[in-house]
Structure 1
Amino acid sequence: MSLAVIDRNDVVLRGRLSAPPELRPMPSGDTLLVFKLVVRRESPRPRGPRSDVITCVSYAPALQRYAAAWTVEDVVEVEGSLQRRFWRTPTGTAVAYEVNCRRGRKVSRASARPD
């Protein structure tokens, strides 16, 4: 059995932007799009958090151009994969989980309502 059949890493998120998308130049010369989505939990515990803030990134130039028009509170849907990234800091190694987005689109609030 091939790994393509065994492994699957597909993420689809729909939520609202908590801050404007940011373009960050990387040491490699690439540009990274970074934005955060607030996604409500389906069944939150009575005293627990009702939502999660998910960091999303993309190196895709088309998505970077499209996301430039997104503003705070826009409802956005993205598709991508979950990744864990490591980098060095002055105090040691840091780690983060992010959704590496290959596609994204702004969603009208009317179509974003749950059924």
Structure 2
Amino acid sequence: MTDDNNRVHLTGRISGVPESKVLPSGDEVVSFRLVVRRSAAARRRSKQVVDTIECSAWTAALRRSVLRLEPGTAVTVAGALRRRFTSGGAGVMSFVSVDVDSCRKVTPSAVASEA
């Protein structure tokens, strides 16, 4: 038996205006993208400097809080990774996103120190 733990903590910047959506089920979700700088070790292996991670806020209080965030705001999020599926012109695709449990503003220097 293992002690599995699907818990992530990310620090980065909001890349655009958070978007509220009502799903066919009637559930509401606020989605946003978080730009996270890669570590120095990771940048030695790849030319890519940042990763952009899709995040989803589901609870009413968290949705209201996230909707007030502006692009460029530095935040720390905590939550769990989820594999999601979407269909489009290219067929069914999957991607990983974070179901956010908490999101708080941080100083811009906190984002730089994570690099």
Q: TM-score range by the shorter chain?
A: 0.7 to 0.9
The share of aligned pairs that are identical, in percent, is 35
- What RMSD over aligned residues (CA atoms) do the two structures have, in Å? 2.0
4+ residue segments displaced more than 6 Å? none
Task: List runs of 5+ in structure 2 lacking aligned partners.
Answer: none
Residue identity opposite 1:74 in structure 2: T
1:109 is displaced (CA, Å) by 2.2
Q: Residue 9 of structure 1 corresponds to which residue in structure 2?
A: 6
Distance 2:112 2:87 in 1: 41
Q: Residue 29 of structure 1 corresponds to which residue in structure 2?
A: 26
Q: In the TM superposition, what whole-angstrom CA distance separates every residue of 1:60-95 from its partner, at most 9, and x where no partner exists?
A: 111101112100100011100111012344553221
Distance 1:83 1:46 in 2: 26
Which structure: greater helix fraction? 2
State the SS of the aligned residue for 1:45: helix
Q: Residue 104 of structure 2 corresponds to which residue in structure 1?
A: 105
State the SS of the aligned residue for 1:20: coil
Task: List runs of 5+ in structure 1 lacking aligned partners.
Answer: none
Alignment coverage as a number of residue pairs: 112
Q: Residue 64 of structure 2 corresponds to which residue in structure 1?
A: 65
